[in-house]
């Protein structure tokens, strides 16, 4: 099995230090939306806050390819569901550490909750 692909160091830093990345799930035409992302162990993770039937998360379940936009750069990605409970714990901690302002902490707590935790997805560059 080959080495896992990773984002370039500058892209990882931009995701780690920035507040929002753009995402478009699937290969069908659709607008890019902004979501929160965290970097854990040099890997990029996202979670769905609303888990709606027509969400990026549900689209990735059916078609695990899409794009992210970081610093006006479009990067093709593959979405992989995270099953590791310790890794999900680390992602929860990363959300709570990164999004800790008074206006964002409620949403970070929700993202660390059971419903959103179940949607933990790693984005791997193609």
Domain boundaries, the chain: 9-125
pLDDT tens, position by position, 16-68: 999 999 999 999 888 999 999 999 999 999 999 887 888 999 999 999 999 99
2 has pLDDT over 60: no
Task: Name the band, by pLDDT with cuts 50, 70 and 90, for residue 103.
Answer: very high
- Residues of the chain with pLDDT > 70, as a percent, come to 98
Task: Assign domain 9-125 to a CATH class.
Answer: mainly beta
Query: pTM for the whole thing?
Result: 0.94
Mean pLDDT of 95-108: 95
What b/e string do you get for 79-106 counting C-beta neighbours within 10 Å, with b at 16 or more?
bbebeeeebbebbbebbeebbeeeeeee
| 83 vs 29: CA distance, rounded Å | 29
């Amino acid at each position: 099995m080959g080495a896992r692909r990773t984002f370039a160091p500058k892209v990882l830093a931009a995701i780690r230090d920035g507040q929002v990345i753009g995402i478009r799930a699937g290969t069908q035409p659709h607008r890019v939306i902004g979501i929160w992302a965290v970097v854990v162990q040099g890997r990029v993770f996202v979670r769905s806050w609303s888990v709606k039937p027509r969400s990026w998360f549900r689209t990735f379940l059916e078609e695990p390819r899409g794009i992210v936009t970081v610093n006006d750069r479009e990067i093709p990605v593959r979405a992989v569901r995270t099953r590791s409970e310790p890794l999900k714990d680390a992602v929860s901690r990363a959300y709570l550490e990164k999004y800790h302002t008074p206006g964002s902490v409620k949403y970070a707590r929700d993202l660390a909750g059971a419903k959103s935790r179940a949607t933990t997805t790693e984005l791997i560059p193609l």
